[in-house]
Structure formats: structure tokens, C-alpha cells
Amino acid sequence: MPPLPRLQRRKQMTLQNYIGGALTAPAAGAYIDNIEPATGAVYSRIPDSGAVDVDAAVAAAAEAAPVWAAMHARERCDLLLRVAALIDEHADALALAESTDTGKPLWLARSLDIPRASQNFHFFGTAALHFASESHTSSENVINYTLRRPAGIAGCISPWNLPLYLFTWKIAPALATGNCVVAKPSEITPVTAHMLSQLCIDAGLPPGVLNIVHGRGATVGAAITAHPAIGAISFTGGTKTGADIARVAAPMFKKLSLELGGKNPTVVFADCDFDAMIDTVVRSSFSNQGEICLCGSRLFVERPLLDRFTDAFLERVRALVVGDPLDDATRQGAVVSRAHMEKVLSYVDLAIEEGGTVLCGGERVRLEGRCADGFFVAPTVITGLGPLCRTNQEEIFGPVVTIIPFDSEAELLAAVNSTPYGLAASVWTQDIARAQRMARDVACGIVWINCWMLRDLRTPFGGMKSSGVGREGGWEAMRFFTEPKNVCIRFPD
């Protein structure tokens, strides 16, 4: 094995909040240890901020808001493009930080997370130049037009699985539409958000336009949610947390965008293009250790194809290399934390209790050397469970999938739609009429036919039922972060 690249970071780096354009320590001076999942060792400290830090961030945002909202879209676009360019310039350092913080393979952070963070600023920065509103001519002398004003101060709360990718997916459209932002990254993976603070300073983003407050969900997240001056909340994370946020924000009549969990079906019909399907289904099952809300964790396979599918799938899954995230050969890195590893493994125990058979994986992987204490879970395939058991109903969010055979479309649809979730589905068939029926009848916000995770940033992104409320992406995001005001003008007869 070639020598691993040396980490370019200081020992025990201490992160800071980004408030009013400056990097600052939390008011109470308290910090949380940040653990590297691949080694289990503490490697940085993050601010354990509180409501007082959120208040300071909101005050800074309120001060910056009038100038930022009044700025020409061209100028806002230029600033966001400058941030994008700086992300590109520092892509290697950001990718290394993302891999270290999350446990994901470095090559994945390099090819997916960081390029996408830059694209988010690029996409929404330029969107500001094209964003237009409607007008309605009522009669010869009456015209209505929709004036879209920034929602005000936006709160953006993001999770740990795709840290900079999802953080910027929220921040960029909020800024592009003229809002100032108070944002909180996950306390489990805060480092790239901290690095983004410095890049925003270097890009010349005016002080207070973006504020980043680090800390726990129950303190910083809750303070953002409850702050009366924050009128719009964009959240991605667990369904239970989404419900907690809605409980607080709804009676305050805040705008809410909630992107929550999933229990996504992958549907494989016997008539599919097998070769095109099989490698993509391995990817859709185990990319990022299964820690992507879009990963398919319930594999419904039409019975005539079951044996061929299972054999080919297992052969490929067994070949996935679980290893040091810094090694290019690694296909499965560490899961994000010890607690998450324990949660994932507890679902394997549950599956066995429920009568399932583990066909491969199912256990913690112990590596040698620097990763001996890391949180690695073998990619796991389970069979023998019906669609309604807890294993097939609850979100595991790790490298664990189940295979469920089906015989008819009616039986399949009932099973696919039986969970409380409705985020994404991937369907494999060459029958175009069947593909259309599935797209229509599957209760999910996103349906991929003969592909997975082909993303076009203009499309509506989000889920139904317990997978969330609202849609992100393209004009949906630009509309979410603006308040439409109808102006009706009557001209003299």
C-alpha cells in the first residue's frame, strides 16, 4: 500500500464562530471535543455556543440586512462567485478536512462534496441574475405584479453526512436572494464550515451577511429556531428533530423548509438492463457508507430475477474495501460517530431478532494501524424480512440494506409506500409504461428511472410525508427565501 498523505492540520485545532465578519470565541468560553471517526481520537475543539452567541449573530445579521437586501443582484452574484472560486482554490484542504471529520473516503470528498459546495455558490449566485417574478394583467388599466423581497434573516441548520455540500445548499440561495443568514453546521462535522468562514472573509463578504454559530442542536439549533427575528428556517436532518423544530416555529408562523429522513426503495424489475442496474444499485446502497438521505435501503427485486440479482450483488458488496478514508482503494470509510455505529449495529441485531438472515457484513470492522479504533461497519445485506417489520420501516442511515422479493406491481406498490417516509425512489425497468406508472404512484418527492442521484440543481428537491415539508433547489429555493407581495396598480382610464 502506498504511504498515506500526511494530514495538513494543526493538532487540536480550535474552531471559532463567525459573527459580524470576525472569527470569535463563544461567549461562555466552552468547547466540545471533535472526534475523528476513522481513528476514534479527539482532534479538534468546537465552540459550545449558546443563545447569547445566536443573539449576537442575529444582531450582526440585522445590521447588515438593509445594505445586503438593497445591493444589486450583480454585486451579490460577484461575491458568491468569489466564494466559489476560493472553495475551488482550497479544494484539497477542504476535502481532507471533510474526510477527516466524517470518515468518508477522501476521494469521495474530493469528487463529490467539495465540488458541489462550490457549484452551490456558483449556481445560486448566477440564479440571482435570472430570478424573475410574475405579472398578471387584469384589464386594460389594471396590472398586478409580484414583488419578491428577501424573507429577512434566515436560519440554516444542516447535518453531518454531507457537511459543506448541504450547508452551502442552504446558505447560497438565502444569500443570493438578499437575506442575511445565521447558520449552524452539525456539531459532529463542523470543520469545513469553519474553513468557509475564513473564505467568506477573504472573498470580502460584508460583515454580518453570513454568521456561523457552532454548537449543539439543543442549544444553538433551538435558539435559532426560536429567535423571533429569524423569519425563515431551512433544516436538513433527522425526522424527529424536524418535528421539534416545527413545534416551535409553526406557532411563530415562520417559513419552514424541512428535509428529513428517508427509507428509500430501489425497485428492480426482471426486464431491467441488468448490467447497467447492478453497479448503480451497489452505489445507491452504499455510497458514503449509506449515509446519504437518497441512498436506497430497501431493495425490491422481482422474483424471477431474485437469485441472479442476489448473487451478483453480494459478489460486488463483498468486494467493497472497508479501509482508511485516506487510502484511494477504500470504498467504505468510517461511519460518522461511535453512537451512530452502535445505532447501525443495533439494527442488525433487530433484523436478526425479526427473523432476518445476514447474507454479508453485519459487524464492526477492526482495521490495523492508525484506524484500529475507528468506527467501521461492514457493508451489510439482509434478507428474509417482510416490508412491515421495523428493520424495513425505520431509517438506519448506514451501510445496511435488505432484499425483498415481489411478484406483482400491486403488492410492490403497497410495500414501497408502506413506510412513513417518502423521499426518493429508484426504479429499474425497460418498460416505459410501467416506469411511468411507478413514477406516478410511488409516494416520493424524487423518482429516478434507470439511474440514481443524477442531480440537476434546477429540479425540486425534497420529500413527502415524514421526509419533510417544502422543496429545495432551483427556483423553489429562491422562492422559499423570498416573500411574495402582490402589487396591484390601476392606471387612469
Compare residues 395 and 472 and give the one whose CB is closer to ligand TXE: 395
Contacts of 397 (CB under 8 A, 6+ apart): 161, 261, 290, 291, 293, 340, 344
Q: Binding segment for ligand TXE among 175-183, 232-240, 300-308, 473-481 (CB under 6 A)?
A: 232-240
The yes or no reply on residue 244 touching ligand TXE (CB under 6 A) is: yes
The yes or no reply on residue 473 touching ligand TXE (CB under 6 A) is: no
Residues 181-210 that bind ligand TXE (CB under 6 A): 184, 186-187
Compare residues 232 and 301 and give the one whose CB is closer to ligand TXE: 232
* Known catalytic membership, residue 180: no
Compare residues 148 and 227 and give the one whose CB is closer to ligand TXE: 227
Compare residues 316 and 364 and give the one whose CB is closer to ligand TXE: 364
* Known catalytic membership, residue 259: yes
Please count the other Cβ atoms lying within 10 Å of the Cβ belonging to residue 440.
8
Least Cα distance to 240 among 217, 211, 223 occurs for 217
CA atoms within 13 A on the CB side of 490: 2
Residues 41-100 that bind ligand TXE (CB under 6 A): none
User: 248 by DSSP, 3-state: which?
Assistant: helix
The yes or no reply on residue 222 touching ligand TXE (CB under 6 A) is: yes
Query: Could you say which of 161, 257, 466, 482 contacts ligand TXE (CB under 6 A)?
Result: 161
Burial of 442 (0-12, 13-18, 19+ CB in 10 A): buried
Compare residues 313 and 452 and give the one whose CB is closer to ligand TXE: 452
Report the run of H or E that residue 222 belongs to, with start and end: helix 222-226
Q: Which of 180, 293, 371, 444 is catalytic?
A: 293
Least separation in angstroms between CB 466 and ligand TXE: 11
The DSSP annotation for 275-309 comes to: HHHHHHHHHHHHGGGG-STT-EEEEEEEGGGHHHH
**Residue 423 and residue 239 in contact, taking contact as beta carbons nearer than 8 Å:** no
Residues 249-268 that bind ligand TXE (CB under 6 A): 259-261
Least separation in angstroms between CB 278 and ligand TXE: 26
- Report helix angle 73-89 to 191-203, nearest 10: 130
Query: Could you say which of 43, 167, 286, 397 contacts ligand TXE (CB under 6 A)?
Result: 397
Cα distances from 145 to residues 37, 98, 119, 478, 489, in angstroms, run 52, 44, 31, 17, 8
Q: Binding segment for ligand TXE among 23-31, 100-108, 157-165, 308-316 (CB under 6 A)?
A: 157-165
The yes or no reply on residue 288 touching ligand TXE (CB under 6 A) is: no
Report the run of H or E that residue 267 belongs to, with start and end: strand 264-268
The yes or no reply on residue 218 touching ligand TXE (CB under 6 A) is: yes
Chain residue whose CB lies nearest ligand TXE: 217
Which residue type occupies 396?
I
Report the run of H or E that residue 357 belongs to, with start and end: strand 357-360
The whole-angstrom distance between residue 58's C-alpha and the CA centroid of its chain comes to 24
Query: Could you say which of 21, 221, 296, 473 contacts ligand TXE (CB under 6 A)?
Result: 221
Residues that bind ligand TXE (CB under 6 A): 157-161, 184, 186-187, 216-218, 221-222, 225, 236-238, 241, 244-245, 259-261, 293, 395, 397
Which residue numbers are catalytic? 259, 293
